[in-house]
Amino acid sequence: MPELPEVETTRRGIEPAMVGRTITGWTLRQPRLRWPVVLPDVLRGQRIRGVRRRAKYLVIETDNGSLILHLGMSGSLRLTRADSEPGPHDHVDLRFDGDRVLRLTDPRRFGSIHYQEGDWHTHWLIKDLGVEPLDNEFTGDLLHRVARKRRVAVKLLLMDARVVVGVGNIYANESLFRAGIRPRVAAGRISRDRFALLAQSVREVLAQAIQQGGTTLRDFVDESGRRGYFSQSLNVYGREEQPCYQCGTVLKGLRIGQRATVYCPNCQR
Ligand SMILES: [Zn+2]
């Protein structure tokens, strides 16, 4: 599943080639994605002003509105020549002037595209989202405040999109390891200082993944068409029953909210 770092890597890859271009049309080979894709005629002739990211949504801003895209479970975007032959899962092409198209590939079809006129921040998919983990508002104080008196496992708090967006399972596991916090500890019992360390850890883990082009599983294709790779730099995720790189203790696995959770019983308290 494309996580925040893959989405951000995609954004950085496609933005330079799209800004200032004019949308000339599109080809919808399969409109039945997570929701039916409907692209209004008003989009034609609009100039692309920027490509933004909010949580795992990519937002293509134009003169009058925005296209809000989500890659779902298996989606990827790439810029390709307009005359290149589409594959069986290449469901949407967005054409702009020049000879390139933005092509959405999505075998499992959980991705989505919406058009929003005016300010995209008001869109129903966007408006209730929590803070961005890489923004300055995401701090230990914020986590400490929302955690007050709550018995929910700290890992679930970290993965709650109403609190902070885009911290998927892999990055929640890795951030908690980095901060030395056990995933199942009740959020309300964690001190402000430890939350400050956790917020910093989330930031560092995500920034590192973005730098590496995303720490992905199988389905991600980066903007140059390379397959994603499984990063060797993961400390705990996927390493249950293997020795901790830091201390040699055997890593423990459990499930929290149905999600695979791995931690070091020695390094994490
Ligand atoms: Zn350890």
pLDDT tens digits for 79-110?
999 899 999 999 999 999 988 899 999 999 99
The pLDDT assigned to 220 comes to 43
First-last CA distance in the chain = 29
pLDDT band at 230 (very low <50, low <70, confident <90, very high): very low
The alpha carbons of the chain give a radius of gyration, in whole angstroms, of: 20
Neighbours of ion ligand 1 (CB under 5 A): 244, 246-247, 249, 264, 266-267
Does the active-site annotation cover 155?
Answer: no
- Ligand 1 centroid to Cα of residue 179, in Å, is 12
Contacts of residue 36, Cβ cutoff 8 Å, sequence gap at least 6: none
Q: What is the CA 133 to chain-centroid distance, rounded?
A: 11
pLDDT at 154 over 70: yes
The pLDDT assigned to 222 comes to 47
67 strand-pairing partners: 60, 115
d(CA 219, CA 39): 26
The pLDDT assigned to 228 comes to 45
- Ligand 1 centroid to Cα of residue 230, in Å, is 21
- Ligand 1 centroid to Cα of residue 84, in Å, is 49
Q: Residue 184 is which amino acid?
A: R
Look at the pTM and tell me if it is higher than 0.85.
Answer: yes
- Ligand 1 centroid to Cα of residue 208, in Å, is 20
Torsion angle, alpha carbons of 86, 91, 97, 99, to 10: -10
* Angle, helices 4-18/192-211, rounded to nearest 10 degrees: 50
Does the active-site annotation cover 56?
Answer: yes
Residues 208, 211, 214: CA angle, nearest 5 degrees: 85
Residue with tokens 């459990």: 254
Does the active-site annotation cover 259?
Answer: yes
Residue in 11, 53, 56, 194 annotated catalytic: 56
